[in-house]
């Protein structure tokens, strides 16, 4: 049998093969040591979160400062607005009081003018009747004034005009919850209310009232508690006797 001769590699060829094996990329990668992964990434670092917390705290402080300034400004504006509203309300109240006072004076003046007109017509009427009223007993002194020691009054009536006027003087203020009232007293009928009044500061009063009823025999002025029934219960201040009226 033929034998093939074995080819013997030279030393240079052996070195070249070994160098080729060592210089290949796979071999180089295999020969290099493995690089360990980063055990502490950026999102796990304490310094990063400290910075985030610091920025949040700074933003919170800035927002608080702005809020405090806005609150102070709003409070100051609100106080100024409330003061202006209070001043306007006070001014409006004063104007209302003045208006009420003016209306009261105008109504009083109109009433006095109407009363004076009625009085003039009654005095000028041909059928005018007059009834004098005088005090009754010691009760009259309780309402007397210094300028007029005893209250007095007079009733003027005209059947033709259909009106009557009661003129009074010497009265004091009636007091709290009290009022002066005028009554018609008949012989066979219960008393009926004719008018009620409050004297002016001078103690005088001019009271328009209806003409006396045919059956009225007496006109009486009393001081009554208010409110009160439709019948006299207070002290009698003045009284006058009515003469029979002529045929109408």
Question: pLDDT (tens digit, 9 = 90+) per residue, 168-214?
Answer: 999 999 888 889 999 999 877 778 899 999 898 889 999 999 999 88
Task: Indicate the range of 51-65, 99-113, 143-157, 205-219 predicted with least confidence.
Answer: 143-157
Q: Provide the mean pLDDT of the chain.
A: 78
Do the Cβ atoms of 197 and 205 come closer than 8 Å? yes
What pLDDT is attached to residue 16? 47
| Strand 216-225 versus strand 178-186 pairing type | antiparallel
Cα 202-140-227 angle, rounded to 5 deg: 80
Strand partners, 216: 186
Q: What single string gives the DSSP state of each residue in 111-159?
A: HHHHHHHHHHHHHHSTT-EEEEEEE-GGGGGGG--SSSSS-EEEEEEET
From residue 189, give the alpha-carbon distance in Å to each of 210, 234, 235.
18, 19, 20
Question: Is residue 29 scored above 50 in pLDDT?
Answer: no
């Amino acid at each position: 049998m033929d034998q093939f001769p074995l080819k013997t590699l030279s030393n240079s060829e052996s070195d070249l093969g070994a160098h080729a094996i060592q210089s290949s990329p796979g071999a180089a990668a295999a020969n290099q040591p493995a690089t360990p992964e980063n055990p502490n990434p950026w999102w796990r670092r304490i310094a990063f979160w400290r910075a985030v917390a610091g920025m949040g705290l700074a933003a919170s402080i800035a927002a608080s400062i702005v809020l405090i300034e806005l609150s102070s400004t709003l409070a100051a504006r609100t106080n100024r607005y409330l003061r202006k509203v209070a001043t306007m309300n006070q001014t409006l109240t004063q104007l209302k009081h003045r208006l009420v006072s003016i209306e009261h004076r105008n109504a009083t003046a109109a009433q006095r003018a109407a009363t004076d007109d009625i009085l003039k017509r009654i005095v000028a009427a041909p059928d005018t009747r007059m009834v004098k009223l005088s005090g009754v007993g010691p009760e009259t002194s309780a309402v007397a004034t210094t300028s007029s020691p005893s209250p007095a009054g007079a009733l003027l009536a005209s059947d033709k005009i259909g009106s009557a006027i009661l003129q009074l003087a010497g009265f004091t203020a009636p007091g709290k919850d009290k009022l002066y009232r005028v009554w018609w007293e008949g012989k066979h009928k219960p008393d009926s209310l004719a008018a009620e009044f409050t004297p002016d500061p001078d103690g005088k009063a001019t009271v328009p009232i209806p003409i006396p009823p045919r059956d009225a025999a007496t006109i009486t002025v009393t001081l009554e508690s208010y409110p009160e029934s439709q019948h006299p219960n207070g002290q009698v201040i003045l009284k006058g006797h009515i003469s029979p009226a002529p045929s109408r």
